[in-house]
Amino acid sequence: MRKRGVWLLLLVFAVSCCLPIVGLAKKGDGAGVKVRARVGGQILIEIRSGDEISFEVDPVMNPEDTALTEILVRTNAAKYSIVAKFGEFLIGDYDLIKNEKFFIRSKAPGSGQGIDDWIVPKDEVVVLKGEDGRTPGEVTVVEYLLRVDFTVPSGEGKLEIIYTAVPEF
């Protein structure tokens, strides 16, 4: 019985010693780690297809020809646009753009605004405006139309188009 009493006293003593230690620790006062992340904004543009286009036209047998370019954009921006800068499109001194023989239109891949009807591109054109971003990859299609008649001289002309993706972070 005495042994039992000693064990009981030891148990009470051990519990009474540990309770204050456990009671001193408040909730949330433990060791902690603060984490901060900074994610940089990125936008990548790539010509997926149609990086080289060749039109074969003549005023009688084939007065118009079409082609297209597929532009792939990957971005973590909330929204983005695509701007196209057009150089000169000359056959000799005849300008196919100024004489309204070359046209473009574009199709938005999602909620953005493309160019629905054929337009003559003047210097810089927004081919896609306000497209939803945060995408691992979506494709915008830009179509081209070359239409000739007997006012267009024979020969070869070259045009360079530079596409730029503009993020809206």
| pLDDT reported for residue 57 | 95
Write out the two tokens for 79. Answer: 């929204």
Query: 20 in the Ramachandran plot: left (φ > 0), alpha (ψ -120 to 50) or beta?
Result: alpha
Residue 84 lies in a domain: yes
The single residue listed with the structure tokens 């997926």 is 48
- CA-wise closest residue to 128 among 79, 161, 81: 81
| pLDDT reported for residue 29 | 73
Residue 13 lies in a domain: no
| pLDDT reported for residue 22 | 52
User: Tens of pLDDT along the chain (169 residues)?
Assistant: 555 655 555 555 555 655 555 555 556 678 999 999 999 999 999 999 999 999 999 999 999 999 999 999 999 999 999 999 999 999 999 999 999 999 999 999 999 999 999 999 999 999 999 999 999 999 999 999 999 999 999 999 999 999 999 998 7
Residue 19 lies in a domain: no
What is the extent of the structural domain holding 60?
A: 43-168
Cβ contacts of 167 within 8 Å, gap of 6 or more = 41, 43, 75, 77, 79, 80, 133
Number of domains in the chain: 1
Residue 124 lies in a domain: yes
Residue 109 lies in a domain: yes
pTM, to two decimals: 0.78
CA dist list (Å): 59 to 39, 47, 56, 65, 100: 55, 31, 11, 11, 15
Query: What is the rounded CA–CA span in Å between residue 54 and residue 50?
Result: 10
- CATH number (domain holding residue 94): 2.60.40
Residue 15 lies in a domain: no
Q: Find out whether 133 and 144 touch, Cβ atoms under 8 Å.
A: no
Residue 73 lies in a domain: yes
| pLDDT reported for residue 15 | 56
